Amino acid sequence: MMQGLYTETVGQGPDLLLVHGWGMHGGVWGKFVELLARRFRVRLVDLPGHGHSPMPSGQAWVDAVLDAAPPIAHWLGWSLGAQIALHAAAVRPERVKSLSMLCGNPCFAERSDWPTAMAPALLEGFRASVESSGVGALPRFLALQAQGLPQPRSLLKRMQGLLGQRPAPARQALLAGLQLLHSYDLRAALTELQCPVLALLGANDALVPVALGEALRQLKPDLRLEVLAGSAHQPFFSHPMECAGLVEAFLLAHDGD
């Protein structure tokens, strides 16, 4: 078994686990965490091989995150983190009080019956870029995350500053994360979930299309769908107050469930 993942905990209240996206780390949440920590005890985790967490050694990422999570908590995941959180809710439902997916797609790579997703060729392009240049692939990914914002350069500069505060992700971890994004198909798992689900999408997201919302509702009619106007793939970062307000309202509505 690999050494445990790096975590930080802030705030007091019901437990809330935050799982970041591909190539990032638990320090990128910024003001969003401060806002949530007023009502919740927020645990931030660095995914395997990201930030301060060690490289995986055979253990599935979802199992490593479950080992680092509170025994019972609300789970919130962003992008790849949303898929991992959804996977955790499916395999260990007794540990997940609610699931919040920020810009998360249960099937990130486009399929013939799932067009509201990323083209496999784009994912393959990122894989080739990581193979050739490692973390040199991240600036292009960050630029795509900010695409659709009125001032993308300002956000990019702030995000790069936060990213630089922890070790860069290992090449092996980046490749493993891309493989998860390519292979994960959790549509059936989402349909069968019993816990409350929030799907929060960015209206201008270039990576997870806003049209996904209707497809998610078809999979799970009782999920709560929110679309944040003016935001792209990082609503927690570009619109922290609005994003935290939507998440907090959802969590407080379901904390007693």
Annotated active-site positions, please? 79, 205, 233
Separation in Å, CA 219 to CA 53, 147, 186, 191: 34, 28, 11, 5
- In the numeric block, the tokens 């505060």 are attached to 165
In this structure, the number of other CB atoms found within 10 A of the CB of residue 1 comes to 9
Supply 68's token pair. Answer: 């680092």
Secondary structure (3-state) at 40 = coil
For 61-79, give the DSSP string: HHHHHHHHS-SSEEEEEET
Among 252, 216, 233, 238, smallest CA distance to 78 is for: 233
Q: What is the DSSP letter of 93?
A: G
Strands (DSSP E) contained in 79-130 are 96-102
In this structure, the number of other CB atoms found within 10 A of the CB of residue 216 comes to 21
Strands (DSSP E) contained in the chain are 7-10, 15-19, 41-45, 73-78, 96-102, 197-202, 224-228
